Amino acid sequence: MTRPAFATRRRTELFDALVALLLAEGFAHLTLDDMAARLRCSKSTLYTLAASKEQLVQAATVHFFRSATEFVEDRVAATTGARDRIAAYLSAVGAALDPASEQFMTDLDGFAPARAVYEQNTGIAARRVQELIAEGVAAGDFRDVHAAFAADLVAAAMVRIQQRVVRRTTGLDDADAYRELAAILTAGISA
């Protein structure tokens, strides 16, 4: 293996381990020393990933959502039928969020750069659902709903999930809320 390939693989492995740590425990209370000790690496190794704890958390959040997007799209690609594709998409979003502890979600909400990454991904997800709805309408699998309006409803729900409003008002965590959204949306627009 060449040195750059090893470095890239090691970097990805380190980000994966960091993401797993942050998802399990949150990050507000962790110092760089704590992270390095838990990941069994040096602080200087962490500094190769980012210049500060804040940048490291933001980069790890980006890494998490990039991996989650790949996972979600793989699930959609393995599914046929418009209804099942939307259900697969939203359920996979829920599954991708399953490892996120309450502490992680609280910390993410309280740290603007990480929250911005979540908000950006929520917007991307809403546009993807709109595409899936439009495909279903075009294929005749869904009644002739206004795809942009249906997607706007989904986006509003997704934002409420992301902003922790759904958690506070229903008790559902983000993962379960996405699964419920999938069930409601797909049953509500079926032909």
What is the rounded average pLDDT of the residues 149-169?
A: 85
Mean pLDDT of the chain: 87
Query: What percentage of the chain reaches a pLDDT higher than 70?
Result: 94
Radius of gyration of the chain from its Cα atoms, rounded to whole angstroms = 18
Domains plus CATH for the chain?
3-188 (1.10.357.10)
Q: What is the pLDDT of residue 183?
A: 83
Helix (H, G, I), strand (E, B) or coil at 146: coil
pLDDT of 41 > 80? The answer is yes
Task: Report in angstroms the alpha-carbon separations of 169 from 67, 106, 112, 174.
Answer: 29, 15, 23, 12
Residues 80-111: tens digit of each pLDDT: 988 889 889 988 988 898 899 989 989 998 99
Which tens digit of pLDDT belongs to each residue from 1-40? Answer: 454 555 588 888 999 999 999 999 999 999 999 999 999 9
pLDDT score for 112: 95
CA 174 to chain centre: 10
Q: What is the mean pLDDT of residues 178-185?
A: 85
* Other CB atoms within 10 Å distance of the CB of residue 189: 20
Locate 120 and state its tokens. Answer: 């950006």
Residue pair 26/101 in contact (Cβ under 8 Å)? The answer is: yes
So what's the pLDDT on residue 158? 85
**The pLDDT value given to residue 33:** 95
Work out the pLDDT band at 74, boundaries 50, 70, 90.
very high
pLDDT value at 66 more than 60 = yes
